[in-house]
């Protein structure tokens, strides 16, 4: 505390730390990721939206006006670490009869569990990918803090959890990690929650699909955005199955049904309609989405009695910036939520450098769907040809994880989900929908910089603060419930998490990791925290301090990648490339400010 208070350069920085964090510091409690750089609630439309414009010291990300506090993934005071491991799952193929069994496992955390390389991860609805953040850095810019989202960042990391052998189709794993952070060395305690499944993407049998595409054809889609859209749709057609149908709704000044529901067998007619798309006029986003839902509602009525059962889904492709009609994001979100309750899901795909991140992410989240961004031609192929196999049909609905913290710990925060509510003693994680994640191995080589990372699955990280002197090794109890998307059956699992040491006990050199994937989760979280801090410091016109954060982290990440006996990790290696890009971009604008020692992002023991 004394060292921090003496650093006057960062006085204003620490004044923004939530009150609960300071109370915990005063109580001399250890901890991890406390984000002292909250996303701004207001912004100026200066420079490129989503970038920091150093011509204006008060510049901010244009999309931050309606952005959530992404720094904590829905937690009020976000943080790191805890322990144990447990399993829970489901049963056979999507659209089939899944078992309604339940299980309860208690685990103290064991490194003896087998890696689940080859197992399929699960990803949460609304997962924002890392595409826009990458694009801004590759273009030489500085991302605004509203661009970075913990759920989306984590989803681009494949984590090999223990094998999904719990006897169901969805297995919950709770794993312990305790170690010093990679920026200042403060000790962290985290419970990493992961979900995977024995269902394999290859050979997956999904139900026939009625797909309604809501296509933005306004003037802002001129050029590359329209090219991406048309290329992507044509590639998508190649990966739909016999029995599927496609309807096209276009919107500019007004919305209209461009192509009524058409069987994929009539592919030539669908392609002809796609190639006739032309960008012009304003953007009636609400009108286009409403018209698409109307078409989907008619299909949904027929699907109820169809044999075999059919899936109906809307996919919105847009820059998300409404200019005519109902423009309030809240109205759009309400519309998507109302149709989601009827069983009509919505996936959103952002196109163009100025797209509305928050609007499209929130639409996908309430619409029980996924969210993607097309930042380059390679992303078009990745999203439309690879992800189309899995992003359209959910594996689990109404997922709820109740978290109760043991008597020897205080919960500080949660990363990796937008659905957390709670306080120091516990709370709950609500996830509307879970989908299959396409990647099956953390060590598999990536095709290129920023490509091939979607479909990792991600993690939820719960940070705990130990209370020394309390002998209870119980860390937390977890109660998982979820609903089968076809049968409506509720499946449940309870897990008791036990720690190998008492709260605040001695930690061996190298820390405690009950499974190798927790160590990767720890690195992933440190990278996210450093990116977030650097974005905020740059926004505050302090690029030198932003460099200080990234340059403190960089050698530690390199050491982890070069650790003897460790497997290659293309995700973290790719992250490091963006750390270097971020530093290089900061150097271009930092001539007027010195490189500063990074602020303390985690309280010391």
Q: Which tops the pLDDT comparison, 224 or 31? A: 224
For the record, the structure tokens of 99 come out as: 């078992």
314 beta partners? 212, 346
Q: Please state, in angstroms and rounded to a whole number, the distance separating the CA atoms of residues 184 and 604.
A: 9
Question: Could you tell me the sign of the dihedral formed by the alpha carbons of 445, 121, 403, 399, in that order?
Answer: positive
Q: Which tops the pLDDT comparison, 505 or 114? A: 505
Residue 289: is its pLDDT beyond 70? Answer: yes
For the record, the structure tokens of 390 come out as: 């899995």
CB 347 within 8 A of CB 369: yes
Which helix (H) or strand (E) segment is 217 a member of?
none
> How high is the mean pLDDT of the chain?
76
Q: Please state, in angstroms and rounded to a whole number, the distance separating the CA atoms of residues 259 and 175.
A: 49
Mean predicted confidence (pLDDT) in 417-432? 94
Q: Which tops the pLDDT comparison, 337 or 356? A: 337
Residue keyed to tokens 């592919």 = 267
3-state helix, strand, coil in the chain (%, to 5): 30, 25, 45
The residues spanned by each domain of the chain are: 2-74+524-589, 103-122+150-199+395-513, 209-389
Q: Please state, in angstroms and rounded to a whole number, the distance separating the CA atoms of residues 575 and 433.
A: 27
CATH topology of domain 209-389: Rossmann fold (3.40.50)
Mean predicted confidence (pLDDT) in 55-73? 31
* Burial category of 565 from C-beta neighbours within 10 Å (exposed 0-12, middle 13-18, buried 19 and up): exposed
The pLDDT confidence band at residue 507, using thresholds 50, 70 and 90, is: confident
Which residues have a Cβ under 8 Å from the Cβ of 588 and sit 6 or more positions away?
A: 140
Mean predicted confidence (pLDDT) in 130-147? 87
Q: Which residues of 326-355 are buried (b: 16+ CB within 10 A; e: fewer)?
A: beebebbbebbbebbeebbbbbbbbbbbeb
Residue 48: is its pLDDT beyond 60? Answer: no
Q: pLDDT above 70 covers what percent of the chain?
A: 72
Mean predicted confidence (pLDDT) in 157-182? 88
What pLDDT is attached to residue 166? 81
Q: Please state, in angstroms and rounded to a whole number, the distance separating the CA atoms of residues 343 and 341.
A: 5
Phi (first) and psi of residue 118, to 5 degrees: 105, -15
Q: What is the largest CA-CA distance in the chain?
A: 72
What pLDDT is attached to residue 463? 92
SS3 label, residue 415:
strand
Q: What is the 3-state secondary structure (H, E, C) of 511-568?
A: CEECCHHHHHHHHHHHHHHHHHHHHHHHHCCCHHHHHHHHHHHHHHHHHHHCCCCCCC
What pLDDT is attached to residue 438? 73
For the record, the structure tokens of 115 come out as: 């890696």
Give 117-150 as a DSSP string: TTPEEEEETT---SHHHHHHHHTT--B-GGG--H
Q: Give the number of other Cβ atoms within 10 Å of residue 32's Cβ.
A: 32
End-to-end CA distance of the chain: 10
Q: Please state, in angstroms and rounded to a whole number, the distance separating the CA atoms of residues 177 and 189.
A: 6
* Burial category of 227 from C-beta neighbours within 10 Å (exposed 0-12, middle 13-18, buried 19 and up): middle
305 beta partners? none
Q: Which tops the pLDDT comparison, 76 or 146? A: 146
SS3 label, residue 208:
coil
Q: Please state, in angstroms and rounded to a whole number, the distance separating the CA atoms of residues 519 and 176.
A: 9
What pLDDT is attached to residue 335? 94
The pLDDT confidence band at residue 70, using thresholds 50, 70 and 90, is: very low
Q: Which tops the pLDDT comparison, 441 or 42? A: 441
Which helix (H) or strand (E) segment is 68 a member of?
none
CB 80 within 8 A of CB 460: no
CATH number of 103-122+150-199+395-513: 2.60.40
Q: Please state, in angstroms and rounded to a whole number, the distance separating the CA atoms of residues 328 and 332.
A: 7
CB 351 within 8 A of CB 380: no
Residue 102: is its pLDDT beyond 80? Answer: no
Q: Please state, in angstroms and rounded to a whole number, the distance separating the CA atoms of residues 173 and 515.
A: 10
SS3 label, residue 258:
strand
Mean predicted confidence (pLDDT) in 531-550? 92
Nearest 5°: the CA angle 227, 214, 333 is 120
pTM here? 0.73
Mean predicted confidence (pLDDT) in 269-288? 94
What pLDDT is attached to residue 93? 28
Nearest to 343 by CA among 210, 455, 512, 524: 210
Q: Which tops the pLDDT comparison, 204 or 195? A: 195
What pLDDT is attached to residue 155? 87
CB 475 within 8 A of CB 177: no
């Amino acid at each position: 505390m004394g060292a921090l208070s003496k650093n006057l350069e960062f006085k204003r920085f620490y004044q923004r730390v939530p009150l609960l964090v300071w109370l915990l510091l005063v109580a001399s409690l250890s901890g991890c990721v406390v984000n002292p750089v909250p996303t701004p609630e207001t912004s100026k439309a200066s420079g490129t939206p989503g970038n920091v414009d150093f011509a204006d010291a008060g510049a901010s990300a244009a999309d931050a006006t309606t952005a959530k506090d992404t720094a904590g993934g829905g937690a009020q005071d976000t943080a790191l670490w805890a322990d144990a491991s447990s399993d829970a799952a489901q049963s056979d193929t999507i659209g089939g009869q899944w078992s309604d069994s339940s299980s309860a496992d208690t685990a103290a955390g064991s490194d003896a569990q087998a890696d689940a390389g080859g197992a399929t991860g699960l990803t949460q609805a609304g997962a924002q990918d890392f595409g826009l953040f990458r694009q801004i850095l590759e273009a030489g810019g500085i991302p605004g803090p509203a661009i970075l989202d913990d759920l989306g960042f984590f989803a681009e990391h494949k984590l090999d959890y223990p094998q999904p052998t719990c006897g169901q189709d969805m297995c919950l794993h709770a794993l312990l990690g305790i170690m010093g952070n990679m920026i200042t060395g403060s000790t962290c305690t985290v419970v990493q929650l992961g979900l995977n499944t024995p269902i394999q993407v290859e050979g997956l049998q999904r139900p026939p699909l009625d797909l309604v595409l809501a296509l933005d054809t306004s003037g802002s889609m001129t050029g590359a955005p329209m090219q991406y859209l048309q290329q992507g749709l044509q590639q998508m057609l190649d990966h739909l199955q016999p029995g599927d149908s496609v309807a096209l709704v276009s919107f500019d000044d007004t919305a209209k049904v461009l192509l009524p529901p058409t069987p994929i067998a009539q592919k030539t007619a669908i392609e002809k309609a796609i190639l006739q798309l032309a960008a012009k006029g304003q953007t009636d986003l609400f009108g286009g989405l409403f018209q698409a839902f109307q078409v989907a509602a008619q299909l949904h009525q027929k699907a109820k009695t169809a044999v075999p059962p059919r899936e109906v889904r809307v996919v919105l492709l847009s820059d998300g910036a409404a200019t005519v009609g109902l423009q309030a994001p809240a109205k759009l979100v309400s519309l998507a939520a109302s149709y989601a309750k009827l069983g009509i899901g919505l996936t959103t795909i952002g196109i163009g450098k100025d797209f509305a991140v928050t609007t499209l992410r929130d639409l996908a989240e309430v619409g029980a769907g996924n969210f993607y961004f097309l930042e380059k031609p390679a992303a078009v192929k990745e999203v439309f040809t690879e992800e189309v196999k899995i992003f359209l049909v959910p594996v689990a609905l109404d997922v709820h994880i109740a978290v109760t913290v043991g008597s020897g710990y205080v919960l500080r925060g949660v990363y990796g989900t937008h659905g957390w509510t709670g306080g120091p003693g516990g709370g709950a994680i609500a996830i509307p929908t879970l989908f299959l994640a396409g990647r099956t191995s953390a060590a598999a080589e990536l095709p290129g910089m920023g490509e091939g990372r979607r479909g990792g699955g991600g993690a939820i990280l719960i940070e705990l603060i130990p209370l020394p002197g309390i002998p209870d090794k119980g860390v937390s109890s977890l109660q998982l419930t979820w609903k089968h998307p076809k049968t409506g059956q509720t499946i449940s699992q309870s897990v008791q998490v036990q720690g190998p040491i008492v709260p605040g006990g001695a930690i061996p050199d190298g820390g405690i990791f009950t499974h190798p994937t927790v160590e990767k989760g720890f690195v992933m979280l440190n990278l996210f925290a450093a990116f977030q801090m650097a974005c905020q410091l740059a926004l505050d016109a302090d690029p030198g301090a932003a460099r200080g954060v990234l340059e403190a982290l960089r050698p530690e990440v390199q050491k982890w990648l070069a650790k003897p006996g460790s497997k290659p990790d293309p995700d973290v290696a790719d992250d490091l490339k963006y750390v270097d890009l971020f530093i290089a971009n900061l150097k271009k604008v930092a001539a007027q400010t010195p490189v500063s020692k990074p602020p303390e992002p985690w309280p010391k023991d």
